Amino acid sequence: MVILFIFLIFISVHSYILYPVIINIIARLKGKNPEENSYYPEVSILCSAYNEEKVIENRIKNILSLDYDLSKIEMLIGSDCSSDRTNEMLLELQRNHPWLKVHIFSQRRGKAAVINDLVKLARHEILVFTDANTEFDRNSLKLLLEDFSATEIGGVSGRLILLEPEANRSESVEEKKYWEYETLIKRAEGRCGILIGANGGIFAIRKKLFREIPTKKAVTDDFFISLSVLEKDYRFIYRYDAFAFEEVGRSVSLEVKRKIRFASTNFQTMFFFRKLLFNKNILVSYAFWSHKITRWFLPFILIITFLLNILILGNGGFFVAAFAAQLLFYAAALFGYILSLFKIRMTAFSLPYFFVVANMALLLGFFRFMSGKHSIIWQSTPR
**What does the angle CA 60 – CA 129 – CA 202 come to, to the nearest 5 degrees?**
85
Do residues 303 and 272 both lie within one domain?
A: no
Do residues 226 and 338 both lie within one domain?
A: no
Do residues 131 and 207 both lie within one domain?
A: yes
β 126-130/73-80 pair status:
unpaired
Q: 333 or 373: whose pLDDT is higher?
A: 333
Range in 182-186, 187-191, 194-198, 254-258 with the lowest mean pLDDT: 254-258
Measured between alpha carbons, how far apart are the two ends of the chain, in Å?
A: 49
Provide the residue count of the chain: 383
Q: What is the DSSP string of 171-212?
A: HHHHHHHHHHHHHHHHHHHHHTTB-SS--TTEEEEEGGG--P
Helix (H) or strand (E) holding 250: none
| Mean pLDDT of the region 88-94 | 97
Res. 258 pLDDT band, cuts 50 70 90: confident
What is the distance between the alpha carbons of residues 48 and 353, in angstroms, rounded to a whole number? Answer: 33
Do residues 215 and 87 both lie within one domain?
A: yes
- Pick the last residue of a domain from 259, 290, 321: 290
Structure confidence by residue, pLDDT tens digits, 203-244: 999 999 999 999 988 999 999 999 999 999 999 999 999 999
Number of domains, the chain:
2
Structure confidence by residue, pLDDT tens digits, 325-348: 999 999 999 999 999 888 888 888
Residue 170, pLDDT score: 53
Residue 142, pLDDT score: 96
159: left (phi over 0), alpha (psi -120 to 50) or beta: beta
What is the distance between the alpha carbons of residues 220 and 248, in angstroms, rounded to a whole number? Answer: 18
Of 342, 368, 374, 338, nearest in space to 356 by CA: 338
Please indicate, yes or no, if residue 2 is contained in any of the structural domains: no
Cα radius of gyration rounded to whole Å, the chain: 22
Residue 136, pLDDT score: 98
Residues 1-37, buried b or exposed e (16+ Cβ, 10 A)? eeeebbebeebbebbeeebbeebbebbeeebeebeee
Res. 175 pLDDT band, cuts 50 70 90: confident
Do residues 200 and 235 both lie within one domain?
A: yes
Res. 122 pLDDT band, cuts 50 70 90: very high
What is the distance between the alpha carbons of residues 20 and 306, in angstroms, rounded to a whole number? Answer: 25
Query: Do 77 and 129 contact (CB within 8 A), yes or no?
Result: no
The residue range of the domain holding 320 is 295-371
Do residues 144 and 60 both lie within one domain?
A: yes
**Between the CA of residue 120 and those of 44, 124, 210, 213, 274, what are the distances in Å?**
11, 10, 10, 12, 26
Do residues 200 and 128 both lie within one domain?
A: yes
Please indicate, yes or no, if residue 137 is contained in any of the structural domains: yes
| Mean pLDDT of the region 175-190 | 92
Structure confidence by residue, pLDDT tens digits, 132-157: 999 999 999 999 999 999 999 999 99
281 has pLDDT over 60: yes
15 has pLDDT over 60: yes
- Using DSSP, state whether 264 is helix, strand or coil: helix
Do residues 41 and 185 both lie within one domain?
A: yes
Residue 72, pLDDT score: 98
| Mean pLDDT of the region 81-93 | 97
Query: Do 297 and 268 contact (CB within 8 A), yes or no?
Result: no
111 has pLDDT over 80: yes
Average pLDDT, the chain: 92
Residue 338 CA neighbour count, 13 Å, CB half: 6
Residue 189, pLDDT score: 98
16 has pLDDT over 80: yes
| Mean pLDDT of the region 193-210 | 97
Please indicate, yes or no, if residue 24 is contained in any of the structural domains: no
Do residues 171 and 278 both lie within one domain?
A: yes
Please indicate, yes or no, if residue 379 is contained in any of the structural domains: no
The percentage of residues in the chain with a pLDDT greater than 70, rounded to a whole number, is: 94
Do residues 99 and 223 both lie within one domain?
A: yes
β 135-136/202-206 pair status:
unpaired
- Using DSSP, state whether 49 is helix, strand or coil: strand
Structure confidence by residue, pLDDT tens digits, 355-370: 999 999 999 999 999 9
Instruction: State phi, psi for 126 to the nearest 5 degrees.
Output: -110, 125
- Pick the last residue of a domain from 250, 266, 290: 290
Residue 343, pLDDT score: 83
Please indicate, yes or no, if residue 339 is contained in any of the structural domains: yes
- Using DSSP, state whether 15 is helix, strand or coil: helix
What is the distance between the alpha carbons of residues 94 and 97, in angstroms, rounded to a whole number? Answer: 5
Please indicate, yes or no, if residue 236 is contained in any of the structural domains: yes
Residue 316, pLDDT score: 87
Do residues 75 and 161 both lie within one domain?
A: yes
What is the distance between the alpha carbons of residues 194 and 214, in angstroms, rounded to a whole number? Answer: 23
What is the distance between the alpha carbons of residues 290 and 285, in angstroms, rounded to a whole number? Answer: 8
Please indicate, yes or no, if residue 5 is contained in any of the structural domains: no
Q: What is the DSSP string of 280-315?
A: SSHHHHHHIIIIIIHHHTHHHHHHHHHHHHHHTGGG
Please indicate, yes or no, if residue 15 is contained in any of the structural domains: no
- Pick the last residue of a domain from 247, 274, 290: 290
Do residues 320 and 283 both lie within one domain?
A: no
Residues 98-134, buried b or exposed e (16+ Cβ, 10 A)? ebbbbeebeeebbbbbbbbbbbeebeeebbbbbbbbb
CATH of the domain at 44: 3.90.550.10
